[in-house]
Structure 1
């Protein structure tokens, strides 16, 4: 079940709140359930995927830690890598997502090992409801297409990032954690997917991993 899968990774999610960099991704062929595992159907509790469940845990735990003097600030972003082009899924204009302006998005790594994407939309989030709204907006913008293995296959690598900044007012302790939840595109062989044209080009794309 979705709950069983989340139980397996819940301690990793907690590590992000403790100040660590965490990356969890779903890998497999088209139709194997990657997007279902990561997103699921947030409208039904038993069908929620790793992303909504992880966010619920983080917000619930951060609220509990307030009694110990902790205050948290959280920022979310979401992008897809489609045909080696970065698309900002939280951009306010759908046109700006599709036309690319992709050349303006550059992946940068600072001296502290943090990864940033230039000009990417970053949104301050204060509740699970705010994040849920962002996820719905991003899902509507993601690239999908039909293959022989899936009527509505995700044709891109999708990266949801939550940056967590925590300060304990009593001890002056600070933490900075990052949670990356990634839904990869299908990894099947070309002869199984029946891909041609745009679908063929999508299948041949290589995902250059983020250095976390």
Structure 2
């Protein structure tokens, strides 16, 4: 395996979440149900008393469910099973991404958490605008960075300077996927900062 391919594989492993927990949980529940049904069948063949119900008794119960259950109950049970099925399907097919971003590096796989990027961007915007630590907050998404600036009351801040500083900070990381910054300057300012 080439080094580039190994690095890409490591980065993907760190930026995408595993489906192992959902797979193991689903397989365990299904295995328990099938083992129980197999045990009940073997006990019925040996003419022993069943643990919970013999296969014939379970079959009669299942065929009698529509006659003995309210239609609303059947609809609710069907809707619950449909939601469970859709949740399992979504867990299997959706790209489970973590809040991490790959940084280009020629020698190794480098992955940075979104909170680290947010903290660095907030610090750079805060220093550029000359604000106190609590006046700039940043959230980092998959493809966007939102910087919220709360200036000191009565003092204006330069949006263009903050935007240029944020762009420069993000460009310095050489992220694998470009993140578009958005600068939002709040109208109400902070007192006494």
| The two structures share one fold, judged by TM-score above 0.5 | no
Structure richer in helix, relative to its length: 2
Normalised by the length of structure 2, the TM-score is: 0.21
| Higher strand proportion | 1
Name the TM-score, length of structure 1 as normaliser. 0.20
Q: Which has the higher contact order (CA 8 A, sep 6+)?
A: 1
